[in-house]
Chains A and B, each alone.
Chain A
């Protein structure tokens, strides 16, 4: 698995495998879906358990739930403003779903569902449809003025308008590829260095000692991946907020 012959097979970890025996096989229920369900269950458990007591002095769980809530709440109100508060539940669930997906993937034997572009692009497409619908609902036809900034000389329109339209349409693409590529690259890197450990460990007497180097590097990489897992969820959420700001206020 890790190192067959002398090649490093880093991408086989992303292959989808049906779980739950025959039932899972017949409906195409893969480990990716299973991990999504686990993530949703964990988020629900965290929020339910964290808010069950409503203690004045929060315990550990309540503090965790409250800080997650306040973090996203601050993000939304800071970026979108008062009008953005009604989008808070959406951004919060998006953030928690991506964060738990990224974090779950770092456990041994776990699967990162955000490492599949089908998943991330679906999330980004939901965001894209939402911002377009919100902008159309609030501004009506004025929304199309978004593609031509006020005060720009009219003769520049043939250049500016296509550029603005392309940049608007490329939002879901860049949003989804950023998250997906980060997750894939991180896990490939972990796998490559883990393969180095195995390959070097199989060498002669000195091999196991040399193998300590990639092992130490892998430990550092896992810490880095924890940072990236949080950072990418944050970036996804903050870009959603920035797009929502554009949709609500039009520049």
Chain B
């Protein structure tokens, strides 16, 4: 096999490994929303106060997934 094919193969592997971070992100987002549902179920009056915080937490956690995705893109295309 010529070296270029190896490079392409390892690039694909590397991009796949880079998005393993999504494991943690999935756990994190699940955690955020389960706590959000829990708190709203226990105290429906707190919904308006808790909801923006939950969404902020979601956005911050989602960003981690996008960092991983970005690294994968860099490996594949840059």
Contacts and interface: CB of A to CB of B under 8 A. Distances in A.
A232 B66 CA distance: 13
A181 B67 contact: yes
B77 A182 contact: no
A235 B77 contact: no
Contact of B56 (A181, A182, A188, A235): A235
**Size bin of chain B's contact surface:** 10 to 19
A11 B66 CA distance: 15
Interface in A188-245: 188, 231-232, 234-235, 238
Interface string A175-189: 001100110110010
A177 B70 contact: yes
B55 interface: yes
A174 interface: yes
A71 to B, nearest CB: 11
Interface in B31-78: 55-56, 59-60, 62-63, 66-67, 69-70, 73, 77
B56 A238 contact: yes
B67 A177 contact: yes
B21 to A, nearest CB: 12
A185 B66 contact: yes
A214 B67 CA distance: 25
Can you list the 7 inter-chain pairs with the closest CB atoms, starting with the nearest? A181-B66, A178-B63, A235-B59, A181-B70, A185-B66, A231-B59, A185-B69
Given A177-B66, A185-B69, 20 more contacts: A11-B73, A11-B77, A174-B63, A177-B63, A177-B67, A177-B70, A178-B59, A181-B63, A181-B67, A181-B70, A182-B62, A182-B63, A184-B70, A184-B73, A185-B66, A188-B73, A231-B55, A232-B59, A234-B59, A235-B56
